[in-house]
Structure 1
Amino acid sequence: MKEILNYELWGNTVSEYLMALLILIVSVIIIQLIKKYVFKKIESTGTEGVLGTKFIIKITSRFAIPLFYLAALYLAFDFIQIPESATKVIKVIYLLIIVWIIIKFARAVIEFMINKYAEESGKEDTVRKFRPLLAFLNFTFYIIGILFILDNLGFHISTVIAGLGIGGIAIALAAQAILGDLFSYFVIYFDRPFELGDFIRVDDKAGVIERIGVKSTKIRSLSGELLVMSNSNLTNSRVHNFKQMFRRRIVFTIGVTYQTKPEQLEEIPKIIKQIIDEAENATFDRSHFFRYGDFSLDFETVFFVETNDYIKYMDIQQEINLKIYKELEKRGIEFAYPTRTLYMKSESKS
């Protein structure tokens, strides 16, 4: 028996192999016991939330447990001698696995926070809007992981970083417009100057937001065509968002003839006020006789429509206009229109 235990195979005795195997088995059993009893107990009595114990246990069991297994395997290998070439290969494999687990862990934490935010805010498209940011962060994590691996393998990271810096500048210059639109996308998402379904006007273009993409935003114009505008163009322009307008201020002018009696002129602001007060979702502000026009006596009126719906606004405006017309016609007050009076002077012949 002693001879069998002292028998050497690939530079190690059988007893050393058995000891390494025993360490590995004991470590696996301990990890399983911790996972089955300790984690389950904490998870059943833990709290919710991003920093709650349930979340920590879930993340730990998903990503930390594999690291525990790697540690157990590393501890077992410490009891046997491995050739230097095999040691380098194992080291590379260990680094790859550890970096991969850390990247997945960081991504899982960020995804959990985004999902939690979407759940609390009640907005279904939140996760979809964050996908470009997740892709960018994922790419950044992998770049950092690769640099970490190269550094541990003995490469001169400063030279690599310098090369990446020069290459990054060249790429940034070539993709300046694309990167500008990407960052503008995040500005639009976090600042929220408009959302899907909002009616906006940018310069001389107007329409309803149909889609907000990573590079461009699609707007359906009133005439039916689809407008595609870059995100950087939108963030650099003055955007009029009519969907976020809680009330509309309306100013209109009517003119009556110069033959209107003074008593009738005094009644006109009162008539207009009464009509607007009776209209639904309309708030009267003022009405005054404010100008002697070239062919009319002008009254200026201001009121508010308590809605951002354009159709409702037009319905209210039409209702008020018709009632004003009928009421002034009933009282014999005539609307003025451009007229010209010519006086002909005749000379008698002597």
Structure 2
Amino acid sequence: MEFLNLKYFDNTILDYLIFIAALVVSAVLIHYLGRLIVRTVAARCEKTNVLYGDAIIAAIKRYLLPIAYFTAFTFCTRILTLGGGLKTAVGTISTLFAIVLGAIFLTSMAAFFFERLRRGRDESASIAVKWLGTIAKMVIWIIALILFLDNIGVKITSLVTGLGIGGVAIAFAAQSALSDLFCFFTIFFDKPFEIGDFIIAGEQMGTVEHIGVKTTRLRALSGEQLVFSNSDLTGSRIRNYKSMQQRRVVFTLGLTYDTPVETLRRIPGVVKEIVEGEQDTQFGRAHFASYGAYSLNYEIVYFVLSSDYDKYMDVNEQINLKIKEAFERIGARFAFPTQSLVWEGGAPAVTDKR
């Protein structure tokens, strides 16, 4: 068997045979091990009803198994004696292949996850999820590039430092845009309001029509569109009426000073009866609260059990009309500003009503 010791390109025939045998054995082992893993994962996903089972199995077949085959080939080449240039080339190609396939696997899983996350969401949520998916893919590929450069011997310390300085410069230059972008994600995750909500921000109010990456748009009650930058909107105090379950109504009634005490005592009961007679209302209280400059003041509190403003106005109108009818019936008169002039010469007092 002297021919087994014959050398070609610094390797004997025996070395080549061992290399081929190791390569075949590795391929067979990876093939059967991959089938076993796929079956195990499929059975587990079917048993536990995992939503992403098909995607995981497809990713194993498409990405992980080729990585395993190529890794086995790389390790088998170490059996042979390769020249300096060839050894470096094989190592570089192997590293690049493994990192690229790994990055593709991770990005495909991220894309699948974020795509499932987008389903059934409104426009603003879909935009936020799309941006998150894009950012995740960029981070994966940047990490893959850094790993590749580090493995082939490139000093990445200065590169990372340069990227950091460049990132700081870009951040300063695009400070406003980045602020609006991060505020967009704040709106998406914290959800202080959603599309369709009626909100008040500062002195402006309207219904949310669109939540974008940079701006949020409201439709005002008078019909015009209000455009806010996301940073301005999240930095202001927001009153959101969508979450309001009931509306508290407080108002004051003023009666004249010549109203009899017995009539004054009847007022709380009359108002309570009127409020409880309306649908979707809850009586709070009615009290003779204070003596005014020209009136005896009652403070009335009740609740409208709805967040609909039109509903509140309808109920408020009916209660006001019925209070007016009831006061006319019992002889209670509403007070209004008056002035009395008294003459010292014995002339009768004159009342000037204004």
- Corresponding residue of 1:70: 70
2:94 corresponds to 1:94: yes
CA distance in 2, matches of 1:221, 1:5: 90
Q: Deviations over 1:47-70 (max 9, x none)?
A: 537799988666544542222121
CA distance in 1, matches of 2:171, 2:35: 50
1:146 Cα shift? 1.7
Kindly indicate whether the alpha-carbon contact (under 8 Å) linking 1:217 and 1:228 is maintained by their aligned counterparts in 2. yes
- Output the amino acid matched with 1:150: L
Kindly indicate whether the alpha-carbon contact (under 8 Å) linking 1:23 and 1:75 is maintained by their aligned counterparts in 2. no
Counterpart secondary structure, 2:286: strand
Counterpart secondary structure, 2:48: coil
- Corresponding residue of 1:217: 216
In structure 1, list runs of 5 or more residues that go unmatched: none
CA distance in 2, matches of 1:97, 1:225: 56
- Output the amino acid matched with 2:237: R
Of stretches 240-249 and 122-131 in structure 1, the one that deviates more from structure 2 is: 122-131
- Corresponding residue of 1:48: 48
1:20 Cα shift? 4.1
Kindly indicate whether the alpha-carbon contact (under 8 Å) linking 1:115 and 1:127 is maintained by their aligned counterparts in 2. no
In structure 2, list runs of 5 or more residues that go unmatched: 348-354
CA distance in 1, matches of 2:139, 2:118: 24
Of stretches 76-85 and 176-185 in structure 1, the one that deviates more from structure 2 is: 76-85
- Corresponding residue of 1:240: 239
Counterpart secondary structure, 1:222: coil
Q: Deviations over 1:279-316 (max 9, x none)?
A: 22211111112233333322210111222222222222
- Give me the CA root mean square deviation: 3.5
- Corresponding residue of 2:139: 140
1:241 Cα shift? 1.0
Kindly indicate whether the alpha-carbon contact (under 8 Å) linking 1:249 and 1:304 is maintained by their aligned counterparts in 2. yes
Counterpart secondary structure, 1:141: helix
Would you say how many aligned residue pairs link Structure 1 and Structure 2?
A: 345
Distance 1:219 1:52, change over 3 A: closer
1:200 Cα shift? 1.0
| Percent of pairs with identical residues | 37
CA distance in 2, matches of 1:61, 1:24: 20
Q: What is the TM-score of this pair, normalised by structure 1?
A: 0.83
1:244 Cα shift? 1.5
Distance 1:234 1:50, change over 3 A: farther
Q: What is the TM-score of this pair, normalised by structure 2?
A: 0.82
Distance 1:25 1:49, change over 3 A: same
1:104 Cα shift? 3.7
2:178 corresponds to 1:174: no
- Corresponding residue of 1:299: 298
CA distance in 2, matches of 1:263, 1:62: 90
Distance 1:308 1:104, change over 3 A: farther
1:136 Cα shift? 2.2
CA distance in 1, matches of 2:197, 2:308: 11
Counterpart secondary structure, 2:285: strand
1:201 Cα shift? 0.8
CA distance in 2, matches of 1:277, 1:133: 52
